[in-house]
Structures are given as C-alpha cells and as structure tokens.
Structure 1
C-alpha cells in the first residue's frame, strides 16, 4: 500500500477549508440579502391592527414599544413609528410602534380655587386637563377662581377624573359699582338665604357652626340695619356671614329710621 506524501494531505485540507469558507460567505450573503432594501410605509394614525398588517405584508417585524394617551387621537391608533416613514432599511427590520391607550388614565383634580385665572390655566395644563368654559360671578376677587366644576358640579381637589377632562371655572368679576340695601336674612332657612343672596349678586361668607340646609339664620353680618335704625348698604360681589340655629328665631319688628329732612331756614 502506497500513501501520498504528507504535504498533499495538508494542501488538500487547506483547499477544503477555503472552499467551505467561500461557500459559507456566499450563502450568508444570500441569506441576509445585503443588497435587498425596502422603504418603510407610513402607518402613523392607523389602527394598530391595520399598521401591523401593512408592515408585516412588506416583510417587516412589528413590535409595540410604548403606549401613551392622547385625547385627540383614536384609541389604539399609532402615534409614532421608528424608523420613520420613507426610511430605507434592510428587509426583516423591526419597526417599533407607539400607540394611543384605549382608556384615559386617571389624574387627581388640582386645587384651583383661590388662584388667578392664568395660574389655574398653567396648573390645568400640567395635569392634562382642558378648560371648558368660564363663568363670572360678582366677587371682590376679580379674575380669581371662586369655584371649579366638572360635569356641572363643583369638584373637590384630589378627586380622580380622566385625563383630558373639561373643567369649568367660576371667576370673580369684581365689585358692583352701585350699592343697595343689605337683604334681611334672619328667620330664613339656609337654602332660602343662599338663593336670596345669589339673586342679588352676593356671596355666602362664613357659615357658623356649619352648613345645614334646614337650619335657620339667627344672625347675619353685615346686619340688615345698623344699631341706630338705618339700613345697611352693600355692593355686588361682597359676602354675608351667617349664624345658623335649629329653631326659627322670633323677629322683633324694626322700623327704619326716617330719612333726615333738610333744615328749614
């Protein structure tokens, strides 16, 4: 048995290795398709299902990257895509999508009462809330927030509401220019006194001991009359403090003092 020289075996092995490397490189080039590129279609604004169908039909992988909330966009619609539309990429590239949440997240209602209108607007923007309307009420605190309302009702600070909710602000319009007689509230229930004050452009001030709709007004400040029998005067936008009691008070008729007559010469 005759064998080939060792160098022949070595050269044969080297040739086989080179051939395998060439075949591998050629197959790798075919598998990865380095010369194959695609343009990414625009899917922003489309539903997630529609965007996925479009991208996958073009040979792209799709991955949900994030979900945020935008009250002006449709639920589960695509807000952003990466890479962006019209980008030229290799096939099999993964496209990452950011979609709009289906349900608005809840946020805490901030305390806007007592703030200026401008400060209230800034605070609402920080909490992603919208201004629905402004209503003016006679009050000495001009352009100050007197009340915050949601769905027509006063809303307390800290209440959970959906992000993007619309809030109505009740603002002070300042004091009226003319004064008029202080209304006589003693003997009225709290509810009746409140209605009477509001109909005259006046505000309920401090209520002592606490608000009870069925309790009676036993005392008020400013009072209907001064100690010397003259009718007190008040302007729109001012407040009247109320002292309540469970029983209806007995009112003593008070006759207003006669107007001063000019002295005769």
Structure 2
C-alpha cells in the first residue's frame, strides 16, 4: 500500500513533505483575509443616551456585538440608558467587533454622608463630588468663621455625618459670610429657656458659644439661662455691643433666676 513511499529515496520523500506543508501554509495565508474579514470596517454608531435594549439592537443590526461591561449612577439620564460606549462613536473597527457599554443603574446606590461642617466651601464641594453627591443651594449666614460650612442639609433638614443618602442627592450648605459690620446691643438671654435663647440667637444672627450646664440640669432644652458673656450691660451700665455672626457664651441651670439679682446695676 505504501510502496510508492518506501520505493523512493528519503530525500524525495522529504521534499514531498516540505512541498505539502508549504502548500498548506500558502493556502492558509491566502484565505486569512477571508477568515478575518480583512479590510472590512464599519463606523461605530452613537448609542449613548439610548436605552440598553435599543442600543444592543442597533449595534447588532449594524454588524457589531454588544456587551454591558459596567454600570454607574447618573441622576441626569434615564435608568438603563447608555452612559459610555467603547470604542466611541465614529471609530472605524472590523465587522463583528464587540462594543462595550456602561449603563445607568435603576436604583441609586447609598453612600454615607460626609462631615462637611467646619470645612471651607471648596473642600466641601470636592468631598461631595468624590462621594457622587451634588452641591444644592448655598445659604450664607453671618458667622466669624468666614467661608466655612456651618450646616449641611438634605431636603431642608440637617443631615448627620454617616447617614446613608442616595448618590446624586443635592446637599444644601449653609456658609459663613463672616461677621457683620454693624454693631447692635447684646440681647438679654438671662431668664429664658435654652430653647428660647436659641431662637433669639438665630433671630439676631448670633451663635451659641460655650455652654456651661449645672450638674442639676436634666432637661437642657428647658433649662434656664442664668448668665451670659458678654452680658447685656457692662460694669458701668452701658450696653455691650455685638455684631452679627459673633457668639454668646451661656450658663444653664434648672432654677429660673430672679432678673433683678443678676442684672448689673445701672449707675446714675
């Protein structure tokens, strides 16, 4: 059966084998362009902003494969819409190339609210951005710490650091505008409850400084102010003056003071 091989010399057989493999290689490389569809290129369409279902259907119709590679949450586009595509629109690629899609999530992930109070506005803005949160309204209020965050609010309510909030939430920042330039007499807080004193502080654009609480106080909100610094009047009976944004130190007690016994005497 193999006489035609055994009757020939080894050299002839070797040449035949070499010629055979050379022919196979020549055939392979001649068909390589057909196999890989060489020089067949398409322009990648723009599917950003389209729903993922619509984007995949369009890409497959144009001769591409599509694969959802990643997801992200962007509050400005509809859920399950394409945010990023790779390769980008207008790229020239081979037929059948896979286009990778990044789509918008349906539900916003939760992040922990950072502590912004005491930071400068710029630092707070950068921190919010890094947490995928947005700066909402900025409200300026007199305070001695100029351009620092005094409070952080979500939906009009103060939000504590560490509270879970949805990505994309708008955080309102109350920013210090510095102390005012106009001096006014110090309000009289002695005899008021701490709750009433805080309302008066807010009404006068003042803040509570150091709070000293007597050991007998069990209800801080309803404790009474027995002393304040600066006092309403100075030692010679003149009004002490204060500017918007400054602070008042308060002493709290469970017993309401008698006003006449704590007010400084007015000299004639």
Do they fold alike, i.e. is TM over 0.5?
yes
Q: In structure 1, what is the equivalent of residue 176 of structure 2?
A: 172
Structure-2 change in CA distance of 1:122 and 1:24 (3 Å) = closer
For residues 24 and 230 of structure 1, the distance between their equivalents in structure 2, rounded to whole angstroms, comes to: 105
Task: Give the 5 Å matches for 1:236-255.
Answer: 236-252=244-260, 254=263
Q: In structure 1, what is the equivalent of residue 108 of structure 2?
A: 104
Q: In structure 1, what is the equivalent of residue 133 of structure 2?
A: 129
From 252, 257, 262, the equivalent of 2:266 is: 257
| 3-state secondary structure, aligned to 2:143 | strand
For residues 17 and 121 of structure 2, the distance between their equivalents in structure 1, rounded to whole angstroms, comes to: 86
Task: Give the 5 Å matches for 1:21-100.
Answer: 33-34=37-38, 36-100=40-104
Q: In structure 1, what is the equivalent of residue 124 of structure 2?
A: 120
Structure-2 change in CA distance of 1:28 and 1:247 (3 Å) = same
Let me know the Cα RMSD of the aligned residues.
Answer: 3.3
Structure-2 change in CA distance of 1:155 and 1:27 (3 Å) = same
TM-score, scaled relative to structure 1: 0.78
| Displacement after TM superposition at 1:130 (Å) | 1.9
| 3-state secondary structure, aligned to 2:221 | coil
Unaligned runs of 5+ in 1: 261-265
Structure-2 change in CA distance of 1:110 and 1:230 (3 Å) = same
TM-score, scaled relative to structure 2: 0.78
Q: Residues 130-183 of structure 1: CA distance to partner in whole angstroms, max 9, x if unpaired?
A: 221221222222222222222112222232222222122212222232322222
Retained in 2: the 8 A contact 1:231–1:256?
A: no
